Amino acid sequence: MVTVKGAWLMVSVGILSLLSCGDKSRYIIGAGSSFDNPLFSKMFYSYFRARGVKVNYQSIGSGGGISQLINRTIDFGASDVPMNEEQDSLSPGDVLHVPITVSAVVLSYNLPELKDTLRLSPQVLASLFLGRITRWNDTAIAALNPGVPLPDLPVVIAHRSDGSGTTNIFTGYLSRVSKEWDGRVGRGSSVNWPAGLGGKGNEGVAGLIRQTHGAIGYIELAFAMQNKMSFGKIRNRAGRFITPSIASIGAAADIAMPADGKASLADTGAPDGYPISSFSWVLIYKEQGYRRHPRENAAQLLQLLDWMIHDGQQYSSALYYAPLSPAAVSAGDALLQSVTYEGGSILTQKNL
């Protein structure tokens, strides 16, 4: 979640190839979450094939997407965390948060001598990232992994050096489960880490983990799966050690949704739910009649988002995202129906 100077000019190779052909007047511009980018790439390619509308999406981080939305240089932003009060105050209009997908942050580690999947509790995780547990054979870790020979090896913490939605999800979880963490460090897209080494992006953190025997760090589930990295089971509030998976993420996200769509999944109470799961959102202005923004363009944007929360969900599981629950889809439908153009409704349920 970091604003990158001139980042709105960054376009993926795949999107560039789409923009180089056909009618260039029919495209939608978005920016933000890298957490969503693998899924968005598939969705937007499929949407172009189905509807002939191109989407230029720049994966620059949640903060960059929010910043560009505030500046009205894009049609939509994407973020792994809702806008905060300061961002809301800077926005020239009301911003809607449409739930778009669900994924998870996992704890990946470099301990090749372990034959069993490492089990971790909220308290041990907080102590590791606070720098209080410094060796892998610490009694607190051993108690969670009976019969597993843990190495007498220093713990090396790997964390993000850049601002990111992934960091916000992880530190939000730690703040929820540890009063000490909440008091000393807190939640944010960038925090003052008590311990460890920083890497830029999931790639940077993953590189530190791979290069360092004894390292542990947090990365996105899709990235860990695609790169065949080891990651641990986390004890949830029900006392169960949960492996992050489509099923356990979906269980965490199967909740009653607030009308504004801003639901937190951290430390889920679902017995089978993975406790470091999170929604991600597409952000749009509720009133679309601004800066000579054509009504047709606003309608195309809403048609895209309607397709994403319905037909587009078919691409989720293969890319390690959980499809939206019926409650989340219903919340998204209601939010899209509330969008206006110069005060009047843009779309009805009939023409969505």
In CATH, what number is assigned to the domain containing residue 226? 3.40.190.10
Q: Residues near 112 by Cβ (< 8 Å), separated by ≥ 6?
A: 213
Residue 262 belongs to some domain of the structure: no
Using a pLDDT cut of 70, give the percent of the chain over it.
91
What three-state secondary structure class fits 234? strand
Contact in structure between 33 and 280 (CB atoms under 8 Å): yes
Same-domain check for residues 157 and 244: yes
Determine the Cα–Cα distance for residues 32 and 298; give it in Å rounded to an integer. Answer: 19
**Averaged pLDDT for residues 248-277:** 96
Same-domain check for residues 25 and 155: no
**Averaged pLDDT for residues 335-345:** 95
**Averaged pLDDT for residues 38-62:** 94
**Averaged pLDDT for residues 8-12:** 35
Same-domain check for residues 135 and 249: yes
Residue 15 confidence (pLDDT): 36
Same-domain check for residues 133 and 184: yes
Using a pLDDT cut of 90, give the percent of the chain over it.
80
What three-state secondary structure class fits 97? strand
Same-domain check for residues 228 and 119: yes
Same-domain check for residues 163 and 226: yes
The strand pairing partners of 235, in sequence order, are 241
Residue 19 belongs to some domain of the structure: yes
pLDDT band, very low/low/confident/very high, at 7 (cuts 50, 70, 90): very low
Residue 261 belongs to some domain of the structure: no
Assess whether pLDDT exceeds 50 at residue 56: yes
Q: What is the longest distance spanned by two Cα atoms in the chain? A: 67
Residue 202 confidence (pLDDT): 84
Same-domain check for residues 110 and 244: yes
- Please list the alpha-helical segments (H only) found in 201-255: 201-211, 221-226, 246-253
In the chain, DSSP assigns E strands to 27-32, 54-59, 76-79, 95-109, 119-120, 156-160, 197-199, 215-220, 233-235, 241-242, 277-285, 340-341, 344-345
Q: Which of 23-32, 85-94, 343-352 has the lowest mean pLDDT?
A: 343-352
- pLDDT per residue over 160-205, tens digit each? 998 888 999 999 999 999 999 999 999 998 999 999 999 988 889 9
Where does a domain end: 235, 253, 271? 253
pLDDT band, very low/low/confident/very high, at 272 (cuts 50, 70, 90): very high
Total domains, the chain? 2
Residue 293 confidence (pLDDT): 86
- pLDDT per residue over 74-121, tens digit each? 999 999 999 999 999 999 999 999 999 999 999 999 999 998 999 999
Residue 172 confidence (pLDDT): 96
Residue 290 belongs to some domain of the structure: yes
Distance of alpha carbon 124 from its chain centroid, rounded? 24
pLDDT band, very low/low/confident/very high, at 249 (cuts 50, 70, 90): very high
Residue 111 belongs to some domain of the structure: yes
**What tokens does 57 get?**
């999406």
Same-domain check for residues 173 and 223: yes
The residue count for the chain: 352
| DSSP structural state of residue 190 | S
Q: Which residue has 């489960």 as its token pair?
A: 177
- pLDDT per residue over 143-155, tens digit each? 999 999 999 999 9
Give the domain extent around 136: 104-253
